[in-house]
Amino acid sequence: MDKDTIVQKFGGSSVANPERIKAVAERVIGYKNHKCDLVVVVSALGDTTDELIELSAQITDDPPKREMDMLMATGEQISCALLAMAIKSKGHDAISLTGAQVGIKTNRDHTRARIQKIETRRIRKALTKNQIVIVAGFQGVTHDDEITTLGRGGSDLTAVALSKALGACVCEIYTDVEGIYTTDPRIVKEARKIRQITFDEMLEMTSLGAQVMQSRSIEVARKYNIPLHVRSSFCEEDGTMIVKETDKMEEVVVRGVACNKQEAKITICAVPDKPGVAARIFTEISKAGVNVDTIVQNVSHTRLTDISFTVPKNSLTQALATTQTIAKKIGAGEVLHDKNIARVSIVGTGMRSHHGIAAKMFQALAENKINIEMITTSEISISCIIDQQSADMAVRTLHKTFKLEQV
Ligand code: ADP
Ligand code: ASP
Ligand code: MG
């Protein structure tokens, strides 16, 4: 009978130094002794990726994306080789493979490439030889052999995609917290570990700023219904299961609070209020490859209106240049921007069937004198754009208002 395959992913903090790598090796060997096939995905050591990006910034302000991928992919190559050495030094057989060696084929969208196909031949061959396979996360290769990376946090995506390709029975994500919490435990010490969370809620949490997992990896897990177990590499406790449906899912109104400080707001003043203007503005911005999030257009009393929208901070320069050009073309006024904003959001499937949640959220912010600049909602979330200085206080207030420390 075929053995079960388990995919395990260890994040940067779990492999931050030689001691941690040796501890991960022990843990992996422990699983191997349970007689399953093991594929282990690793991130780069600690903050290596940030350090590599910082290095490139010392060379140029505008590094070519192809070369950024060549640079960033080296981080995971180091950790996968070291982990394979650590396992071998403990008397077990292992082999490290880069994304290209595995055959993780992607499109050519450097620094945020999409996986198109995963070859499994090389991994299966190694598993047949009873080797533990260590795969460098976050990277792939195009059909013409160019190295690509999968966007920040992309090792999560490598693990999920490999789980699908190999038909793994479990995909375990090992990190530095014990699972998914009601909010970032670094901001709120009363945050509680959630036992089970749905793909929909998790996708909403991550896309609204909870950096614990990469959003795209959750999208893929949801698409193929691959249950994920997020747990700590520092202890044996069970963590959080991310699944299609949870027990009593409609009863939990607010599952968590997320916060994103990585956005900026752009306002175009005095935009002529006539059909087709918004279409022109946002077509140009999307052509420039900038993702726009919340958009607010004020009511016009004078046939002129202000339009505000948010963009990721790292696209601000590009977005401003494009917006200034289009503002001139359409005869609008000044273009303003503000980097000092944050998005705070509440998320929960139960919001579909409960009302009064938005009012409760706005009231809680008002009581703390926090001004709401923009509001957006989805079926299972409500987000407010506020001043960045108030963000942590807003998260703590909302966590308390919705009694999340009691779940
Ligand atoms: P890794 O290096 O393992 O990929 P990350 O740093 O990407 O780990 O993600 C783990 C971090 O995510 C935690 O240290 C925690 O501070 C942060 N985080 C943010 N929101 C949450 C949340 N809701 N639950 C758990 N962790 C969260
Ligand atoms: N090392 C990459 C990053 O820091 C990928 C990952 O850790 O998942 O974004
Ligand atoms: Mg991560």
d(CA 118, CA 139) in angstroms, rounded, equals 12
- CB of residue 293 inside a 6 A radius of ligand 1: no
- Determine the distance separating the centroid of ligand 2 and the alpha carbon of 6, expressed in angstroms: 21
Provide the H-helix boundaries in 17-114: 18-32, 48-59, 65-89, 99-102
> Which residue's alpha carbon is nearest to atom 19 within ligand 1?
184
SS3 81: helix
pLDDT of residue 300: 75
> Which residue's alpha carbon is nearest to atom 11 within ligand 1?
212
- Determine the distance separating the centroid of ligand 1 and the alpha carbon of 187, expressed in angstroms: 11
Q: Candidates 43, 177, 214, 395: which one to mutate for ligand 1, based on the most atoms within 8 Å of Cβ?
A: 177
pLDDT of residue 301: 78
* CA distances, 73 to each of 49, 173, 181 (Å): 9, 20, 30
SS3 265: strand
Q: In the numeric block, which tokens belong to residue 328?
A: 């001139």
- One DSSP character per residue, 316-332 reads HHHHHHHHHHHHHHTT-
- Determine the distance separating the centroid of ligand 3 and the alpha carbon of 10, expressed in angstroms: 9
- CB of residue 202 inside a 6 A radius of ligand 1: no
Instruction: Count CB atoms within 10 A of the CB of residue 328.
Output: 10
- Determine the distance separating the centroid of ligand 2 and the alpha carbon of 45, expressed in angstroms: 9
Domains defined along the chain, listed by start: 5-176 (3.40.1160.10)
Q: Which among 353, 316, 349, 363 has a CA at the least distance from the CA of 335?
A: 316
Q: Candidates 45, 152, 176, 212: which one to mutate for ligand 2, based on the most atoms within 8 Å of Cβ?
A: 152
d(CA 126, CA 59) in angstroms, rounded, equals 40
pLDDT one-digit tens code per residue, 196-206: 999 999 999 99
Single pTM value for the model: 0.93
pLDDT of residue 1: 52
> Which residue's alpha carbon is nearest to atom 17 within ligand 1?
212
Which stretches of the chain score pLDDT less than 50?
A: none
d(CA 96, CA 133) in angstroms, rounded, equals 6
Percentage helix, strand, coil for the chain under 3-state DSSP, each rounded to 5: 40, 25, 35
Cβ pair 357, 382 in contact under 8 A: yes
- Give the residue carrying structure tokens 């993780």: 104
pLDDT of residue 328: 94
Instruction: Count CB atoms within 10 A of the CB of residue 78.
Output: 16
Provide the CA 290 distance to its chain's centre, in angstroms.
18
Q: Which ligand is nearest to the CA of 257?
A: 1
- CB of residue 181 inside a 6 A radius of ligand 2: no
pLDDT of residue 249: 67
pLDDT one-digit tens code per residue, 286-337: 999 899 999 998 777 788 999 999 999 989 999 999 999 999 999 999 999 9
d(CA 45, CA 12) in angstroms, rounded, equals 5
> Which residue's alpha carbon is nearest to atom 21 within ligand 1?
184
> Which residue's alpha carbon is nearest to atom 4 within ligand 2?
49
For the chain, counts of helices (H) and of strands (E): 12, 20
d(CA 192, CA 403) in angstroms, rounded, equals 11
Q: How is residue 353 annotated by DSSP?
A: G
